[in-house]
Amino acid sequence: MSEQNISENKKRVLSCIQPSGMLTLGNYLGALKNWIKMQDEFDCTFAVADLHAITVKQDPAKLKQQILSTYALLLALGLDPEKHTVFIQSHVPEHTALSWLLSCNTQFGEMSRMTQFKDKSAKHPENVNVGLFSYPVLMAADILLYKPDFVPVGADQKQHLEIARDIAVRFNNKYGDVFTIPEPYIPKTGARVMSLQDPSKKMSKSDENPNAWVAILDDRDTIIRKFKRAVTDSDSVVKMSEDKPGISNLITIYSAVTGKTVAEIEKEFEGKGYGEFKLAVGEAVADELAPIKERYEEIIKDKKTLEELYREGSLKAEKVARKTYFKAMKKVGFVL
């Protein structure tokens, strides 16, 4: 059986990530580590969703670097551009073109109810632009162009997949069968990583306290230092418990990195203090991320190969996207 036939027999999965600066340990353990595993089971399409980044103000030079850095990091993590499609969203014009068709089949009221628009408007009141309002339609186009069977989603993206499904169903009912209706994909594993300084919040690179989050590309000393400073509680028992959110977060991270169960971790550190445990977590995370950082440094320096890979990825993506887009245009009634 040819590789093409094998690919056709696999279910399709689409995953996108914005180039919004340094990706964190939370991004890695919560989503990206699962992207690597999905490659064996699915026909995967991975995108750097750079068009979404400009809904907030960006420095052009910095944005360009972040796009390249994010693409290089995806390769360093182990995404295989030979077997799957790894591309930059803005290189495929069908994303914005299909977004217009979908916008004309999306209701204003649907967009006004989107919680992320409300949140981002509050954070950036000086720049409440139309793109910020309508970007869930662009996200729907991102998804529907590639006819995926599944889209991995976290709690904060569930609403966007739901609106994409609603738009697709409405379009299909109005014009005929064009889009696959994607299902949410809930990974078997995926840690919800919280802030190291405030375990009531998710780990985020936008946190003003740099000790609250660990970047995938942080060096070993920085990683260990941040874990040593992690907030725990006045107790000294390494045990998973709702009333011990700080230590529970560290147990979750240690489990995700080492593969050990909570029971095994509690037994391993029975009678030992928080200081010893925090050092062990820091070292385990540093060991996990070190090879990724090393591969990233090699990839980002080889600009010629990096460009070849993202150009090839965009060509592969556009081949699929163009077919879906022209089918939608034909159904709507445009002259092709």
| pLDDT tens track, the chain, 336 positions | 344 444 558 899 999 999 977 899 999 998 899 999 999 999 999 999 999 999 888 999 999 999 999 999 999 999 999 999 999 999 999 999 999 999 999 998 888 887 777 777 777 778 788 888 889 999 999 999 999 999 998 766 777 899 999 999 999 999 999 999 999 987 776 678 999 999 999 998 888 899 999 999 999 999 999 999 999 988 889 999 988 999 999 999 999 999 999 999 999 999 898 999 999 999 999 999 999 999 999 999 999 999 999 999 999 999 999 999 999 999 999 999
Is residue 97 within 8 A of residue 324, CB to CB? The reply is no
Q: Which CATH number fits domain 210-296: 1.10.240.10, 2.60.40.10, 2.40.50.140, 1.20.140.10?
A: 1.10.240.10
Residues taking part in catalysis: 120, 202, 205
Per-domain residue ranges for the chain? Answer: 3-191+303-332, 210-296
The answer to whether domain 3-191+303-332 and domain 210-296 are alike in fold is no
CA distance 214 to 134: 32
CA distance 154 to 27: 11
Assigned architecture for domain 3-191+303-332: 3-Layer(aba) Sandwich (3.40)
Angle (CA) 96 318 54, round 5°: 35
